[in-house]
């Protein structure tokens, strides 16, 4: 285990953890329910750590990407349905991220939103074309570390640490009306979906294959997933706790992504604001790149095309054309003028519906001794894997009714 | 039985009109107004950049306009309050904006407890 590589990997995971959906739902959850939803963030983070560890181990041992598995394990018909649903889910998520990046640039520079969306799509396409895989991930992830300003803000505003610690204990607040309980349920499902987005597993396991992981890399992957995601989750929880402290009492339920940046501006002034916006910019841009790549990986793996950023773009032509077209499609969605917050809600809904089908084949293969040999799931991974699979299945079933009954969490 | 009740609730949620159906837009408007007040308060203390403030004003106004247009009872008291919020200048005093939001919050609470 190379300590420098490990540190960089962890820092990249921390900086790349928060995306537009987590940002939006963390801020809204804090202002609406105080610290009561912190445990859902912590709970979902354990879930994404479990599945990242499993998919990293599968990539290192069986050398199988998720969508290759899906086709073989679910069969062609169900595999195709899952592929179609995940393409839609990732495309909407990618559009929400591009819209989010354009909004942040608009807050930073005042330049027109649509122009910024076009410019950023071009910059992100160029960065994928030019940078090797590892540096695509690291550039955005490391610069996303500016988001640490949200954790610093929490210290600076003298947050009630006792209440925050209490938020880590699973509970539902007392005295909520039926309507409020349903809204609490909707927020819980949305947070699970935002933290456990399917693209994260597609990207993580495909990245493992891109970087040619072998069994010797399993420990590094495990430590990176556990520490990187746990620390990254603390940033999302900081956004939630700042919101509970600063926005809730002011009757603010952040309706714009830019409102979250006020959390750093209130204690630190202009520099806090700029650092928060820069952190949001790089974290969201990184997520845009990851969703687009994850989508292209899925399609290429499913149809058995040559894929990967370790190859020159022209050595994997169908894969290259696919990710460029997907980026342009996501940009086209943004250019229709659809509201970014609406895109975030649709991304959350579609993702939770796809989640069980994403994780099932990974879970099944990770228990197959023929492929996994001595790296097959242990008792802990098996128990946690099936437990979280049950949780996301229940969340997937509940998502649509909760969305309609609560008008998308607006009561 | 449970499925039927759920279907009825979903249909009602999708098709209803009147103050209850407008509740989500009242909440949005109240929050947007409060965000506006917070921004103006912080801007007055010199904690925000000019570009950020003017960009946020533009988006807040646009979202408020969307909430206002979505109301199904355009002459209700809350509709008048939202309209009055929209008439405020970008650099309106935070107290003025908060006073309007307090009225919206009151209406919101009444509708929620009804």
Q: pLDDT tens across A34-65, in order?
A: 999 999 999 999 999 999 999 999 989 988 77
Inform me whether the pLDDT recorded for B14 exceeds 60. no
A255 interaction partners in chain B (CB closer than 8 Å): 28, 31-32, 35, 63
Does pLDDT of B6 surpass 50? no
Phi and psi angles of residue B74, each rounded to the nearest 5 degrees, phi first: -70, -15
The pLDDT of residue B16: 58
Give the pLDDT confidence score for residue A199 in this predicted structure. Answer: 85
The pLDDT-based confidence of A3 (bands split at 50, 70, 90) is confident
Q: How would residue A201 be classed by pLDDT, with cut points 50, 70 and 90?
A: confident
* Rounded average pLDDT over A112-124: 96
> Would you state the structure tokens that stand for residue B54, as one six-digit string?
């003017």
The pLDDT tens digits for A135-148 are 888 888 899 999 99
Instruction: Provide DSSP, A38-90.
Output: HHHHHHHHHHHHHHHHHHHHHHHHT---HHHHHHHHHHHHHHHHHHHHHHHHH
A106 versus A67: which is more confidently predicted? A106
Question: How far A194 CA lies from chain B's nearest CA (Å)?
Answer: 22
* A252 chain-B contacts, CB cut-off 8 A: 31, 34-35, 38
Of A252, A266, A273, the CB nearest to B49: A273
Multiple choice CATH, A3-405, 1.25.40.850, 3.20.140.10, 3.30.470.160, 1.20.1740.10: 1.20.1740.10
Mark yes or no for CB contact A255/B35 under 8 Å: yes
Does residue B7 lie within any of the structural domains?
no
- How close, in Å, is residue A164 to chain B by CA atoms? 24
**CB half-sphere exposure, A126, CA atoms < 13 A:** 6
Q: Do B71 and B18 contact (CB within 8 A), yes or no?
A: no
Decide if A270 and B48 are in contact by the 8 Å CB cutoff. yes
Q: How many domains does chain B have?
A: 1
* pLDDT tens digits, A321-363: 999 999 999 999 999 999 999 999 999 998 998 899 888 888 9
Q: Quick check: A291 pLDDT over 50? A: yes
Residues A54, A381: Cα–Cα separation, whole Å: 8
CA distance readout (Å), A62 to A13, A217, A253, A299, A313: 23, 13, 46, 20, 26
Instruction: Look at residue B11 and tell me if it is in a domain.
Output: no
Residue B3 falls within a domain, yes or no? no
What is the SS3 string spanning A278-327?
Answer: HHHHHHHHHHHHHHHHHHHHHHHHHHCCCCCCCCCHHHCHHHHHHHHHHH
Look at the block and give the residue holding tokens 């206002």: B68
Question: Cα A331–A98–A65 angle (5° rounding)?
Answer: 90
Judged by average pLDDT, the poorest of A1-10, A282-291, A373-382 is: A1-10
3-class DSSP state for residue A179? helix
Which H or E run contains A161?
helix A161-167
In a domain, B85, yes or no: yes
Residues of chain B with C-beta less than 8 angstroms from the C-beta of A110: 51, 54-55
pLDDT surpasses 60 at B3? no
* Range B24-51 average pLDDT: 96
Residue B98: give the domain boundaries. Answer: 17-113
* Distance between CA atoms of residues A244 and A249, nearest Å: 8
Place of tokens 């570009």: B51
Contact A21, A194 (CB under 8 A): yes
Mutate to test the interface with A, among B22, B31, B67 (most CBs of A within 10 A): B31
pLDDT at residue A1 in the model:
63
Q: Tell me how far CA of residue A64 lies from CA of A60, A203, A365, A377, in angstroms.
A: 8, 13, 9, 16
Burial class (CB within 10 angstroms; exposed 0-12, middle 13-18, buried 19+) of A369: exposed
Q: Is A340 on the interface with B (CB under 8 A)?
A: no
Taking the CA of residue A53 as centre, how many other CA atoms within 13 Å lie in the half-sphere pointing to its CB? 25
Q: Is A95 on the interface with B (CB under 8 A)?
A: no
Q: Please state the ipTM of this predicted complex.
A: 0.90
pLDDT over 70 percentage in chain B: 85
- Does any domain span residue B8? no
Residue B89 located in a structural domain: yes
What's the pLDDT score for residue B12?
47
As a whole number, mean pLDDT of residues A76-87 equals 88
pLDDT in tens, A184-199: 999 999 999 999 988 8
**Residue B2: per-residue pLDDT:** 43
Confidence check: pLDDT of A277 > 90: yes
């Amino acid at each position: 285990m190379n300590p420098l590589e490990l540190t960089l990997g962890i820092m990249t995971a921390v900086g790349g953890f928060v995306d537009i959906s987590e940002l939006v739902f963390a801020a809204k959850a804090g202002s609406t329910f105080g610290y009561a939803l912190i445990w859902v963030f912590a709970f979902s983070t354990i879930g994404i750590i479990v599945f990242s560890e499993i998919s990293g181990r599968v990539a290192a041992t069986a050398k199988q990407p998720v969508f290759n598995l899906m086709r073989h394990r679910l069969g062609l018909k169900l595999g195709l349905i899952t592929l179609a649903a995940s393409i839609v889910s990732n495309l909407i998520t990618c559009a929400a991220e591009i819209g989010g990046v354009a909004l942040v640039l608009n807050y930073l520079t005042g330049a027109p939103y649509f122009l910024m969306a076009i410019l950023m799509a071009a910059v992100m396409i160029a960065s994928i074309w030019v940078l090797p895989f590892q540096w695509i991930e690291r550039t955005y992830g490391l610069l996303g570390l500016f988001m640490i300003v949200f954790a610093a803000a929490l210290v600076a505003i003298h947050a009630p640490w006792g209440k925050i610690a209490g938020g880590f204990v699973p509970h539902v607040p007392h005295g909520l009306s039926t309507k409020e309980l349903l809204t609490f349920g909707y927020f819980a499902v949305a947070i699970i979906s935002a933290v456990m987005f399917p693209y994260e597993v597609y990207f993580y396991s495909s990245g493992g294959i891109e970087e040619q992981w072998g069994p010797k890399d399993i420990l590094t992957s495990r430590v990176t997933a556990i520490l990187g995601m746990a620390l990254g989750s603390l940033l999302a929880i900081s956004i939630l706790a700042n919101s509970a402290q600063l926005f809730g009492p002011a009757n603010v339920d952040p309706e714009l992504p830019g409102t979250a940046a006020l959390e750093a501006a209130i204690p630190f002034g202009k520099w806090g604001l700029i650092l928060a916006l820069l952190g949001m910019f790089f974290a969201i841009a990184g997520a845009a790149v990851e969703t687009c790549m994850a989508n292209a990986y899925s399609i290429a793996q499913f149809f058995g095309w040559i894929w990967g950023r370790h190859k020159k773009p022209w050595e994997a032509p169908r894969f290259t054309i696919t990710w460029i077209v997907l980026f342009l499609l996501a940009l086209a969605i943004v250019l229709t003028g659809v509201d970014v917050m609406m895109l975030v809600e649709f991304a959350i809904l579609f993702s939770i519906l796809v989640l069980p089908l994403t994780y099932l084949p990974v879970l099944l293969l990770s228990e197959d001794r023929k492929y996994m040999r001595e790296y097959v799931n242990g008792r802990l991974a098996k128990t946690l894997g099936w437990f979280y699979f049950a949780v996301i299945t229940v969340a997937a079933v509940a998502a649509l009714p909760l969305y309609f009954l609560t008008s998308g969490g607006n009561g | 039985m449970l499925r039927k009740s759920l279907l009825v609730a979903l249909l009602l949620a999708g098709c209803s009109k009147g103050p209850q159906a407008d509740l989500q837009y009242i909440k949005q408007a109240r929050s947007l107004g409060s965000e506006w007040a917070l921004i103006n308060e912080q801007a007055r203390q010199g904690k925000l950049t000019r570009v950020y403030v003017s960009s946020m004003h533009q988006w807040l106004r646009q979202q408020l306009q969307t909430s206002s247009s979505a109301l199904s009872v355009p002459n209700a008291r809350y509709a008048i309050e939202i309209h009055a919020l929209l008439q405020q200048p970008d650099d309106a005093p935070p107290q003025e904006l908060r006073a309007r939001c307090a009225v919206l919050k009151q209406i919101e609470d009444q509708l929620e407890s009804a």
